Amino acid sequence: MAYDFIDSVGNDVDVVSDSENIKKLLKIPYSKSHVSMAVHRIGRTLLLDELDIQELFMRSSQTGDWTWLKEFYQRLIDQKWQRKKKSKEHWYQKAILSKFLYYSINGDGAAQPVPSTSKQHQEGPVSGEGDEAGEASWPAPFEMPSSLSEDPGASNQGSVPVEPSYIVGHVASAPKEQNLTTLFNDGENSQGLKNDFVRNILWTFEDIHMLVGSNMPIFGGGRYPAVSLRLRDNNKPINVLTGIDYWLDNLICNVPELVMCFHVNGIVQKYEMIKTEDIPNLENSNFSTKVIKDIAQNILSFLKSNCTKEGHTYWLFKASGSDIVKLYDLTTLCEETEDKYQNPFTMPVAILLYKVACNMMLKKNQNKKHYGTIRTLLLNCLKLLDNGRHPQIIASANYMLSELFQLDEPKKEDSTDFPINGNSDESYSEEEEEMPDSDENGSYSNSSDPPDDNKAVAIIKSVGELSVPEKYKSVHRIRPSCAFPVCHGTEERCRLVLNYVLEGLKSVDSSIKKESDLPAADPSTPIPLKYEDESTSGGPECLEKQMALFLDKMGSFQKGKHSSQSGMIPGSWQYKMKLQLILKSSKAYYVLSDAAMILQKYGRALRYIKLALQCHDTYCCLCASMLPEVLVFLCQCLTLCGDIQLMLAQNANNRAAYLEEYNYQTKEDQEILHSLHRESRCQVFAWATDLSTDLECQLSVSCKCYEAAYEILLFSNLKSQNPEQHVQVLKRMGNIRNEIGVFYMNQAAAVQTERVGNKTVSTTEQQLWKKSFSCFEEGIQNFESIDDATNAALLLCNTGRLMRICAQAHCAAEGDFKREFSPEEALYYNKAIDYYLKALRSLGKRDVHPAVWDSVNWELSTTYFTMATLQQDYAPLSRKAQEQIEKEVSEAMMKSLKYCDIDTVSARQPLCQYRAATIHHRLASMYHSCLRNQVGDEHLRKQHRVLADLHYSKAVRLFQLLKDAPCELLRVQLERVAFAEFQMASQNSSAGKLKTLFGALDIMAKTKGAFQLIKKELVAESELTSEGKSAAENMSPTDSSTSLNKDEALKLLSIFESRMSFILLQSIKLLTSTKKKTGGINEEEAVLQTNKQVYSLLLRATANRSLTLLERVEVILNLLEQLSQNSDTGSAGIQ
C-alpha cells in the first residue's frame, strides 16, 4: 500500500496500515489478546504490519529463516510456546459470514429485510435484488457523494472526505508517476508484495493522519447510499470490543449507518439499523470515544518516540493476557546473527525508502529544503542493501545522492548552515532518543524491569496507562529543513559527488558479467533488430559522422569503437547507469577544475580538466548518439582547458609547483579511472591536457582547444542555441591569437637585438613577422565577428607595433655610417600609422573605452614623432630636397602633436607634455637652422624667424610645467639666447643691439627655475651620499629618485657661463659707448654698474677651477638674482 501511495509516505501521513491493525492497537486496553506488529519508520510516517509469530515460526521450521527470532522469543517471552489451533467455532462463524455476504450480494437468493417488531428506524431494504434501489456495491470502491457529509457527532472522529486520488480498487490503478524509475523491473520493485485492499482511505482521526487499507463490505442504494452490514448471533450480546470494532470500521470508511442482521443458527431473525455516532452508546457496549482518542494519541507518541531509526524493523509485542507492551529493534537483534539479511522486511523497506526518495526527487516543484530528507532516505536504503544482491538499486541510489549536490549552483558559502554531522545517516538527532522523565510521562526505561526485558527498546508497563490523556508525549521532532544541508564548499561538494559516483561505478562493474560468462545465443531464437526510419534519424547520424571526423582530426579516435570492453550490453541498465555516472563524474571534475582555476592552482586545474576529458572520452566511446547538452559541456571543458594552458604559459615561473600539483592523484581518482578503462582507453583529447615546458607549445595547445570548441559549436548547429557560449569562445580565440602574435613579435624583436653589425634582415625574423601578423589578423576577425570593437582596436594597435618593429629592423640593417631614412622604414611606419588609424575608427569615439582610446592615440603620436625624428636626424638628402624633407618633418611633427593629449589629466599627462615640449623644441631648432642656412627669400626668412620664436616659447612653457626636465629647459633657453645672438649679428644700430642683448639677458634670468631644480637634485644627492644607506631607506621615493644627468648639466652650465659672459661683455661695451656719446643717464648708469659687477663675479667664478658643480650653480643663481633686480631698469633705459 505504501508503494502505491508514495506521495503520502514520509511527509503528510503519520501511519500507514491495515484497518485491522489500527483497531487492534486501539483495543489494547480493552483486550487480553496478544498483539504482534512490525513497525517501520519512513520520514515522519510509521508503517504497521501484522507480524504473525505463529505463522512465521511454522514457516521457519521449513525454510530455516527467523531461527534467531524463534530462539529469542522462546528464551525471553514464551518459553513454552506451541502453535495454538483455531476452534471449530471460529471456522463455523467464518463460513456462515461468507454465505451471508454471498447471498446479500447475489441475485434471487439474497436475504430479504425483516420488519422490526420493535419499530427500528430503518424503513426500506438495505440490499436490493437489482431493483430500482440499486445493487450492492461490494467489492467496488466507495466514493462518498458530495451531498453526504459528516454529521456533527462524528466530525472530529470520522475520516475526512476522501479524495479520488487516494481511493483505488486495484494495484494496477496506481498512478504511473508513483512507480519506481524505469531502471528497475517489477520483480525487484514489489518483492512479491501486493496491495490487496478493496479500498485505501486517507483517514484523519483527531490530528492523526493515516493511510488505511480496508476490506469492509459497504452496501448502498436508494435512501441509504452507504451502510455497513454485520451478522450477529441473536443469543450473544454485543460487547465493548465488538462495538469499538464496528464504530472504527464505519469511521474509517466514512459510513454513516450500520445494519445489524441477527440470526439464530443461521436463520435470520431481524435487521436493525444503527447510526455510527450511536454505536458507543449501545447496551453492553458502552465506551468513551474520548478514551479511544487518548489511546490513539498515546500509542502514536510512544511509537514515534522510540521507533527513531529509518530502515530498522521494530516489533511491538503484547503477550496474550499480559498488560505489558514491549518494543524490540529486530534489526539490531538480527545483526548479531551471521547474516543480517535474514530479516525478510529488509528488502521491502529498502525499496520503499528508495521509492520515497525517488518520488521526492522527481517532483519538479520540490524545494531544495527537502534534499536533506532525500539524502537520509537514500543513505538508510544503502545500509540495508547487499551489493552482491542488489547492485542496480545501489547504483541508482548512489547516482541520486550525487544528483542532490547541484554542481552548477552559484558558488556561495553559508557559515550558518549546519554541517552534515556524524549522525547524518540516521533520520533524527541524538536528542530525539532521550527519554522523558518517568514521573511525568510514564517509564520508558528498563532499569526496574527483570533481566529478561533488557533487549526491549521501550516498555509500556500497563495498558491502562494508554487511557490517560497525554500520558505519553512524543519527543520526536520533525526534522527541520536545514538539519542536513547539502550545500558545501565547491571542492567538498564535488568530492562527495565523486565518492557517490565511485560507489555507483563499483556497483555497476561488479554486476557486469565477463564476456566468457555471457550465455551463448540460442540459434533457434531470432535476434530482434530495431528498424528506424532514416528520415527521422538523419540529423543525429549526420552529426555523429561530423563528430567522428572532428575527433579523428583531433587525435587518436578510431571509428566504430562505440562498444564496451567489459561486455556491457547497450541498452541494459548497467549501460545506461554507467553512462550517467561517467557524465556526472566529468561534470564534477570540471567544477573542481574551475574552482582550482579561480584559486590560481593551475597545475591542479589541469589535472582535474584532464580527468573530466578522460571521463568524457569514455562517454563518447560508449554512447552511440551525442546529446546537444553533452556537446555543449564538451565545449565548456575545452574552453576551460584552453584557459588553464594560457594561464600556465603566463605563469612560467611557478612551473615546478604546477608540475607537482599536476602529478598528484587521489586513490578515488585512480579507482574512477580504473572503472573508465574497463570500458575504453580512447584518449581523444590527451594532447590538450599535457603539461608542457615550452611556452610556444602551451600557447598553441590553448589556441587548439578554443578552435576545437568553436568547431563543435559550428558543426553541431549549437551556435544559435548557445549564443553566449559562442561569443565566449570567439573572444577567447581572439585573445589567444593576440597572445601568440605578441609572443612571435617579441621573439622577432629579440632576434633583431641580437643581430650584430650591419647584417640584413634574416629569414627567421621575416618568418616570425609573418606568423605574428597572421595571428593578429585572425584575432581581429574573431573580435570583429562578435562586434567587440575595443579588443579589435587593441589587436590593430599591436599590429601597428609589429609594423614599427619591422621598420626598426630595416633601420638597424642600414648601420650608422652615412645613415639615411630608408624607403622601407617609411613604408612600415606608414603601415603602422594606417593600423593605428583603423583602431581609432574601430573605437569611433573616446567614450567607448577611454583607456584604449588614449593608448592608441599615444602610440599613433609616438609613430609620427619617431618617423619625423628619424627624417630630421637622418635626412634622405640623396633622394629628396631639403625643403621637401623639412615640410614632411613639420607635417609629421604637427600630426604627432595632434594625437598627443596634454590637457586630459591622467597618468600619461606628464609624458604627453614632455613629448609636446620636445616636438616644439625640435621644430624651433629646425626653423632656427633653416634661418641660419637660408639666403635670399626675405619673406621665407621672416616666416621661419616667427615660427622658431613661437615654438621656442611653447617649448619653454611646457618644460616649465614639468619638474623633472631642468636640463631640457636650460637647453631650450640657451638655444633662444643663441637665436638672439644670431639676430643681433644682422643688426646695425646700437639701440637695436642693446635691446636684443637685454632680451637675451632676460631669457637667461628666466632660467633661474631650471637652476633651482638642478640645485635641489644635487643637494638631495649629496645628502644621500653623506647620510648613508639608513638615510636612503627613510627617504621618500620622490626625494631619493634623482634622475639628473650630471655630465649633461655640467656641459650646459659651461655653455651658459660662456654665453652669459659674452652677452654681459657686449652689453657693457655698447652701454659705455652710448654713455660717451649722449652723456650719463642715471638708469643706464645703474644697469652698466650692475652688469660690470656681475661680469666681474662671473669671471672670478669661472677662473676658480676648484668649485664643485653645486657651488657653480649657486654662483649662477646669485648672479641671475642680481640681474633680475635690474632687468626692468635696463629695459626702461633703452626706450
Least confident among 185-194, 392-401, 726-735:
185-194
Confidence band (pLDDT; 50, 70, 90) for 549?
low
Residue 610: per-residue pLDDT: 93
Residues 494 and 592 sit within 8 Å (Cβ to Cβ): yes
Confidence band (pLDDT; 50, 70, 90) for 862?
very high
Residue 7: per-residue pLDDT: 63
How far out from the chain centre does Cα 485 lie? 17
Residue 88: per-residue pLDDT: 75
The mean pLDDT value for 1021-1043 works out to: 56
Residue 11: per-residue pLDDT: 66
Q: For the full predicted model, state whether its pTM sits above 0.75.
A: no
pLDDT in tens, 204-225: 887 888 888 888 888 877 777 8
Residue 864: per-residue pLDDT: 94
Q: Pull the grid cell for residue 1029.
A: 644607506
Grid cell 565523486 in the structure block, residue: 498
Q: Tell me: pLDDT of 273 over 80.
A: yes
Q: Tell me: pLDDT of 435 over 50.
A: no
Considering 161-175, 362-376, 763-777, 1097-1111, the range whose residues carry the highest mean pLDDT is: 763-777
How far out from the chain centre does Cα 364 lie? 21
The mean pLDDT value for 333-359 works out to: 73
CA distances from 871 to 409, 668, 804, 891 (A): 62, 69, 15, 12
The mean pLDDT value for 526-548 works out to: 44
Residue 529: per-residue pLDDT: 40
Residues 1115 and 1107 sit within 8 Å (Cβ to Cβ): yes
Residues 189 and 180 sit within 8 Å (Cβ to Cβ): yes
Q: CB-based contacts of 854: which residues, under 8 Å, 6+ apart?
A: 846, 901, 904, 906, 908
Least confident among 164-168, 190-194, 527-531, 1027-1031:
164-168
Residue 536: per-residue pLDDT: 39
The mean pLDDT value for 686-692 works out to: 84
Query: Does the CA dihedral 500-503-505-508 come out positive or negative?
Result: negative
Least confident among 414-428, 600-614, 741-755:
414-428
Mark residue 261 as left, alpha or beta (left: phi above 0; alpha: psi -120 to 50; beta: remaining): beta
Give the DSSP H or E segment for 264.
Answer: strand 257-264
Residue 758: per-residue pLDDT: 59
CA distances from 286 to 206, 243, 989, 1082 (A): 21, 8, 149, 146
Residue 802: per-residue pLDDT: 94
Grid cell 430479504 in the structure block, residue: 112
CA–CA separation, 854 and 837 (whole Å): 13
CA–CA separation, 776 and 780 (whole Å): 6
Residue 1134: per-residue pLDDT: 42
Average pLDDT value over all residues in the chain: 75
Residue 838: per-residue pLDDT: 93
3-state DSSP call for residue 568?
Answer: coil
Confidence band (pLDDT; 50, 70, 90) for 920?
very high
Residue 548: per-residue pLDDT: 54
The mean pLDDT value for 279-293 works out to: 84
Percent of the chain scoring above 70 in pLDDT: 73
Least confident among 370-379, 627-636, 638-647:
370-379
Considering 1-10, 544-553, 971-980, the range whose residues carry the highest mean pLDDT is: 971-980
Residue 874: per-residue pLDDT: 87
pLDDT in tens, 981-997: 888 887 778 888 888 88
